[in-house]
Amino acid sequence: MIERLKSWLVGYQKEKSLKPADEERLELLKKGPIPRHVAIIMDGNGRWAQKRGMPRIAGHRAGMKTVRHITRAADDLGIEALTLYSFSTENWKRPQDEVNYLMGLPEEFLRTDLDELVRRNIRVGMVGREEELPEHTLRAIEGFKAGTEGNTGMMLSFALNYGARSEMIQAVKWIIDDVESGKVDKGEVDEGLFDQYLYTSNLPDPDLMIRTSGEVRISNFMLWQLAYSELWFTDGLWPDFSRELFYKAIEDFQRRSRRYGAV
């Protein structure tokens, strides 16, 4: 109890009030269309660390702080859903110590940030394959889900062991199961039904996808859901990404004209 109180106080102190310039910008942004769902490929942690002569994991640590700042920035703006690509199905190819470190981050984030997330009425979830994840990582995710399930505000999802191709193959298998058992009729299989079998079934498609680090590719992220998303890329590395840049992306989004194939 005392520990919880202490971490609550620490968390509370960390959350400074907004600078007047940020407040002003936020109010202006709120006058325009706000994306319902923003998805981010948080890239460049390793390079950030290497540039400083530090091990790659130092970059992941710094990147976790950015997760906190951007979660606050998105929540302050009234975004409904924020999805953060945290570990891909291809990232298992990395050195074991880096993988281990990344798998430990959800527990750490749970310890340091759950109280603030609850205070902000944010719900936390995961999109991705649970199968290969270590027990302790899954426990942390469960802790987040249980700790925030009563909340009604922004949906913060971590894409963990996520890969769009494996997600779609899994969806196809589940649909086949349901067709074979008679739960679903083959004629009912359409885009809307397919959506319901994806890990993101509880989320609208992203309106805006952001990728940091200068790479201009999708890296197996939400291939289905990004069909009509606006894409925004920046050369900055994820640990250097900021509320200012995030709001710049939103400003640019507000100037885009979305046509969905129409005129």
Specify whether 202 is catalytic: no
Q: Of these partners, ligand IPE, Mg ion, none, which one is at the site of residue 170 (CB under 5 to 8 Å by kind)?
A: none
Q: Shortest gap between Cβ of 114 and ligand IPE (angstroms)?
A: 21
Pair 29, 19: CB distance under 8 Å: no
Separation of alpha carbons 260 and 20, rounded Å:
37
Amino acid code (one letter) for 52:
R
**Least distance between ligand IPE and beta carbon 117 (Å):** 20
Kindly state whether residue 43 participates in binding Mg ion, applying the rule CB under 5 A: yes
Among 128, 14, 27, smallest CA distance to 68 is for: 14
Going across the sheet that includes 230-233, the strands are 123-127, 155-162, 81-88, 37-41, 208-211, 230-233
Question: Per-residue string for binding with ligand IPE, 26-65, x by CB under 6 A?
Answer: ---------------xxxxxxx------------------
Is residue 230 at the binding interface for Mg ion, with CB under 5 A as the rule?
no
Looking at 35, 81, 85, 148, which residue binds ligand IPE (CB under 6 A)? 85
Q: Is 219 in the site for ligand IPE (CB under 6 A)?
A: yes
Q: What number of other Cβ atoms are within 10 A of residue 138's Cβ?
A: 16
User: Active site includes 91?
Assistant: yes
Out of 75, 76, 91, 190, which one is annotated catalytic?
Answer: 91
Q: How large is the C-alpha radius of gyration of the chain?
A: 19
164 is a site residue for ligand IPE (CB under 6 A): no
Q: Give, in order, the Cα–Cα distances in Å from 127 to each of 50, 111, 115, 149, 241.
A: 29, 21, 22, 16, 23
Site for ligand IPE contains 86 (CB under 6 A): yes
**H helices of 44-190, where?**
45-51, 56-77, 96-119, 135-148, 164-180
Q: Does 215 engage in binding with ligand IPE (CB under 6 A)?
A: yes
The single-letter code of the amino acid at 164 is A
Partner from ligand IPE, Mg ion, none contacting 246, C-beta within 5 to 8 A by type? none
- CA 102 from centre of chain: 15
- Among the listed ranges 31-39, 134-142, 191-199, 209-217, the one in contact with ligand IPE (CB under 6 A) is 209-217
d(CA 19, CA 61): 25
Question: For ligand IPE, which is the closer residue by CB, 219 or 254?
Answer: 219
Task: Tell me the catalytic residues.
Answer: 43, 91
User: Which residues are documented as binding site for substrate?
Assistant: 44-48, 56, 60, 88-90, 92, 94, 211, 217-219
User: Which residues are documented as binding site?
Assistant: 43-48, 56, 60, 88-90, 92, 94, 211, 217-219, 230
Binding stretches for ligand IPE (CB under 6 A): 41-47, 85-88, 91, 102, 213, 215, 217, 219, 238
